[in-house]
Copies of this chain bind each other. A is one copy, B any other.
Amino acid sequence: MKKIITISREFGSGGRTIGKHLAEELGVPCYDSEIIEKVAIESGFAEEYVQEKGEHTHPSLLYSLFTNRTIYTGPTNEDKIWIIQCKVIKELAEKGPCVIVGRCADYILRNRDDVMKVFIYGDVEARAKRIVEVYGEKDDAPVKRIKDKDKRRAAYYQHYTDMNWGASRNYHVCLDSSFIGIDECVKILKDIALNAD
């Protein structure tokens, strides 16, 4: 069995729910908000700040030019959070079998050979419906909110990993949850995890 399962997911795809149920099925812990909490404690930043900066990259070059911030002034708060996040995720993986949702864990644990990397995504319309129904999102434009969030996650992933978020070759399994269904995704992932060498 693969001991560590990382789940990258598009916003609204149900990736977090899949991770939680999969961990229950396998009898292992699922780390999600725990990572934010630990990073907040170790960094001294507030949880909300860590949550938000975990999806932001540096200011764009354009911004830098306008504000004359082209000279390197040391690591940004995002960089500091990234470094602590890497440490926290590596420590959690060391503790034993688990499921880790988000936070570029697939990349952070790339040198381990006991990791199964999963990407969960879905049709934009289905995800918009889901965030309104399941999370009670009040936003008038859920599709726009989803696209913005995907864009930020992709940019963050690209910035820190230099890889393309959602490119199938970065993962062992990619599942469209809006096509397959949440429960079936859990079942498939459980089978693969138990069968993989």
Contacts and interface: CB of A to CB of B under 8 A. Distances in A.
A179 B168 contact: no
Nearest to A124: B169
Interface residues of A, number: 23
Interface string A167-197: 1110111111001110010011001100110
Given A181-B195, A188-B188, A169 B166 contact: yes
A189 to B, nearest CB: 10
A121 B196 CA distance: 16
A192 B192 CA distance: 14
B188 A192 contact: yes
Given A121-B168, A188-B192, A180 B173 contact: yes
A11 interface: no
Contacts of A156: none
Interface in A74-119: 116, 119
Q: Which of A167, A168, A173, A176 has the most CB of B within 10 A?
A: A168
Nearest to A165: B168
A64 to B, nearest CB: 29
A193 to B, nearest CB: 10
Contact of A171 (B168, B171, B181, B184): B168
A169 B164 CA distance: 12
Interface of A: 116, 119, 121, 166-169, 171-176, 179-181, 184, 187-188, 191-192, 195-196
